[in-house]
């Protein structure tokens, strides 16, 4: 993306936002997007933005779009619906149909519920180790000292990354995730590209190491698939990058925003402290109430009719998952946060259909364990200052969250 492209894009968003287009305003990454979701809800199940895309915050409509195999991430000419997807054009995130199914089948074993179930004890130990490093009686940053470090450490274990590779991975893995933040400068783009290049080099070096000394880790098993011509070298590296993102991005934001939400509603935090076994429900309600990934876009190479509305070929449908998660026809008191909320239909925080987030089981487990450990170790946890929120239309997350136990 050039400076001219960025300038043109910002001018269009600014102009249409000033004219009141809800999607244009959402793409600015507002502090509170939820009133805008309600404006879209008032316009009906499907609403066409002046940007040309269709939007929905209707849970039933969104579910139809996400599960309809005519919709995907590629236009009729094979180009991706989003420029972010171009970064992963050799992975399943940038593929549809048979290629997507093939790549997903290769990656699924590493992040399946069965595969990650054995990480609970290790996850618990990691959470305790991280808290042992900080003086929790004084102010500390829950994000940089705790939430940011949990998922990337776990994914490093899935890859079995040894030193000296580990320090490089822990440095560049989190930076890679800022690809979803608002692009503020060409320097930001360059920093993301540097992290991407560094991860590319790191995984290439690890491939060479595992060719000489194979193990039971994800890279060794993917190399076996490459030897059997089930994926290319470029696809292997892209899958490793995607696993880094899928295993980390949702979890960091789920933990950070989830804790912040509970601390702002003290009775909810005290419920968790009194009964840490509510942690899985707290994770599920946090996913619903403040979806880490706020939207998921789809496109079809052909005209598609959804409940009588024809979506023209190559026209984006922006599923505003965070708004769908507060659909009053699905959840009673949808704007009320309650970690004891009864089991309800699955929220759309991890999208749906064939592109359902591969890291969902791991994200849920990590949030479960993190909430449980925090409630047990730090029952008097309080926020001590303003949180620094990430500026993004896609990600609902925090850079910093100052807290103390007391």
In DSSP notation, 122-145 reads: HHHHHHHHHHHTS-TTS-EEHIII
Please give the backbone phi and psi of residue 79, each rounded to the nearest 5 degrees, phi first: -85, 150
Enclosing domain of residue 346:
3-405
- Tell me how far apart the alpha carbons of residues 89 and 209 are, in angstroms, rounded to a whole number: 25
- Which residue in this structure is represented by tokens 């007391």? 406
pLDDT recorded at residue 212 = 94
pLDDT recorded at residue 13 = 62
Say which range, 5-9, 14-18, 22-26, 93-97, has the weakest mean pLDDT. Answer: 5-9
Give 1's pLDDT tier (boundaries 50, 70, 90): very low
Helix (H, G, I), strand (E, B) or coil at 215: coil
pLDDT tens digits, residue range 153-178? 888 888 899 988 898 888 877 776 66
Counting residues of the chain whose pLDDT is more than 70, the rounded percentage is 90
Length of the chain: 406
Helix (H, G, I), strand (E, B) or coil at 404: strand
Domain count, the chain: 1
pLDDT tens digits, residue range 266-307? 999 999 999 999 999 999 999 999 999 999 999 999 999 999
Query: Residue 181: which residues within 8 A CB-CB, separation 6 or more?
Result: 188, 390, 391, 392, 395
Query: Residue 95: which residues within 8 A CB-CB, separation 6 or more?
Result: 73, 74, 103
Long-range CB pairs of 158-167, under 8 A, 24+ apart, other chains included: 158/110, 158/111, 158/217, 158/218, 158/243, 158/247, 159/206, 159/217, 159/218, 159/219, 159/240, 159/243, 160/215, 160/216, 160/217, 160/218, 160/219, 161/206, 165/202, 165/205, 165/206
pLDDT tens digits, residue range 76-96? 998 888 765 555 555 677 788
Please give the backbone phi and psi of residue 239, each rounded to the nearest 5 degrees, phi first: -65, -40
pLDDT recorded at residue 170 = 84
- Tell me how far apart the alpha carbons of residues 141 and 154 are, in angstroms, rounded to a whole number: 20
Looking at residue 143, which CATH number applies to its domain? 1.10.630.10
When the pLDDT of each residue in the chain is averaged and rounded to a whole number, the result is 89
Say if residue 182's pLDDT is above 70.
no
In DSSP notation, 316-367 reads: -EEE-HHHHTT-TTTSSSTTS--TTPPP-SPPSTT--GGG--TTHHHHHHHH
Please give the backbone phi and psi of residue 294, each rounded to the nearest 5 degrees, phi first: -85, -20
List b or e across 114-144, with b for residues whose CB sees 16 or more CB atoms inside 10 angstroms.
eebeebeeebeebbeebbeebebeeebbbbe
The reported pTM is 0.91
Query: Residue 313: which residues within 8 A CB-CB, separation 6 or more?
Result: 76, 300, 301, 302, 303
pLDDT recorded at residue 346 = 81
The answer to whether the peptide bond before residue 164 is cis (omega within 30 degrees of 0) is yes
């Amino acid at each position: 993306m050039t400076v001219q492209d960025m300038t043109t894009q910002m001018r269009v968003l600014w102009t249409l936002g000033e004219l009141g287009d809800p999607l244009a305003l959402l793409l600015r990454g507002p502090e509170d997007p939820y009133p805008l979701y309600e404006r879209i809800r008032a316009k009906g199940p499907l609403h066409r933005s002046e940007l040309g895309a269709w939007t929905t915050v209707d849970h039933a409509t969104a579910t139809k779009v996400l599960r309809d195999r005519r919709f995907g991430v590629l236009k009729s000419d094979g180009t991706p619906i989003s420029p972010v997807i171009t970064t992963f054009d050799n992975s399943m995130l940038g593929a549809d149909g048979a290629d997507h199914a093939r790549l997903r089948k290769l990656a699924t074993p590493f992040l399946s519920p069965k595969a990650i179930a054995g990480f609970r004890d290790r996850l618990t130990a990691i959470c305790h180790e991280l808290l042992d490093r900080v003086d929790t009686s004084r102010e500390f940053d829950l994000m940089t000292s705790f939430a940011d470090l949990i998922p990337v450490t776990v994914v490093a274990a899935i890859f079995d990354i040894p030193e000296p590779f580990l320090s490089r991975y822990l440095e560049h893995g989190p930076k890679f995730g800022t690809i979803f933040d608002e692009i503020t400068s060409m320097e930001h783009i360059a920093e993301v590209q540097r992290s991407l290049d560094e991860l590319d080099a790191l995984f290439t070096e690890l491939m060479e190491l595992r060719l000489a000394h194979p193990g039971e880790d994800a890279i060794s098993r993917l190399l076996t698939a490459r030897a059997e011509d089930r994926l290319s070298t470029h696809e292997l590296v892209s899958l490793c990058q995607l696993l880094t993102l899928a295993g980390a991005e949702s979890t960091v934001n789920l933990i950070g925003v989830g804790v912040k939400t509970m601390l702002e509603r003290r009775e909810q935090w005290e419920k968790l402290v009194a009964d840490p076994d509510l942690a899985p429900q707290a994770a599920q309600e946090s996913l619903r109430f403040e979806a880490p990934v706020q939207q998921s876009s789809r496109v079809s190479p052909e005209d598609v009719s959804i409940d009588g509305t024809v979506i023209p070929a190559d026209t984006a449908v922006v599923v505003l998952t965070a708004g769908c998660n507060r659909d009053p026809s699905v959840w009673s008191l949808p704007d009320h946060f309650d970690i004891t909320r009864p089991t309800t239909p699955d929220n759309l925080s991890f999208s749906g259909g064939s592109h359902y987030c591969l890291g969902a089981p791991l994200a849920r487990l990590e949030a479960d364990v993190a909430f449980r450990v925090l409630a047990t170790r730090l029952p008097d946890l309080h926020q001590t200052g303003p949180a620094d929120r990430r500026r993004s239309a896609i990600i609902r997350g925090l850079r910093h969250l100052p807290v103390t136990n007391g």
